Amino acid sequence: MNKAQLVEAIADKMGGRQQAADAVDAVLDAIVRAVVAGDRVSVTGFGSFEKVDRPARYARNPQTGERVRVKKTSVPRFRAGQGFKDLVSGSKKLPKNDIAVKKAPKGSLTGPTATISKAAAKKAAAKKAGAAKKAAAKKAPAKKAPAKTTGAAKTAAAKKAPAKKAATTTAAAKKTTAKKAPAKKATAKKAPAKKSTARKTAAKKATARKK
């Protein structure tokens, strides 16, 4: 019986094929996760699943007979419960209208729930630690930012200050040139006055000569 046949076998009891498939997947996933984490999953009357560590050893290649070193490894192991063994051996008969492996009493199931909760707690703690580190990394540059902005403001003010001085100097220069301009015009007006007096004197001399 493969997985698809197993789903079909329990589909009527679970209320449909999809519900049966989800149930099988959930049970297998819980068992696998628990065993990988090193926990022992025990179901009374059925058996137990556990992780077994095998030390490094030497083995022989069955084809060549060569001695090969095998590294340390871990393997899953299933041990059938006494009720399962009795049904297989025939010492007990399978019930016709009842479940072969009856529901285990409270507390007999160990492994999946505790393992999943432990894994979830570890993941949550890791996420919190990562979030705290990111928050600290973000806060550190934020504190340095005001110092940088004040320095930039000082440099900008220092650059603007000469510009203001230059503007005031140019304005003062314009005022002084504006004041000096009328003086030049006044001298220009006085110049024709001198020429007119010179003409008058020349005319007086000419009349004096004629007499």
Per residue in 141-193, pLDDT (tens digit) is 544 544 444 555 555 555 554 444 444 555 555 555 545 544 444 444 454 54
With respect to CATH, is domain 3-53+70-138 assigned 4.10.520.10?
yes
Every domain of the chain and the residues it spans:
3-53+70-138
pTM, two decimals, is: 0.46
Q: What is the pLDDT of residue 96?
A: 82
pLDDT digits (tens, 9 = 90+) for 34-72: 999 999 999 998 999 999 999 999 999 999 999 999 999
Residue linked to tokens 């010179």: 198
Which pLDDT band holds residue 100 (cuts at 50, 70, 90)?
A: confident
Token pair 């002084």: residue: 176
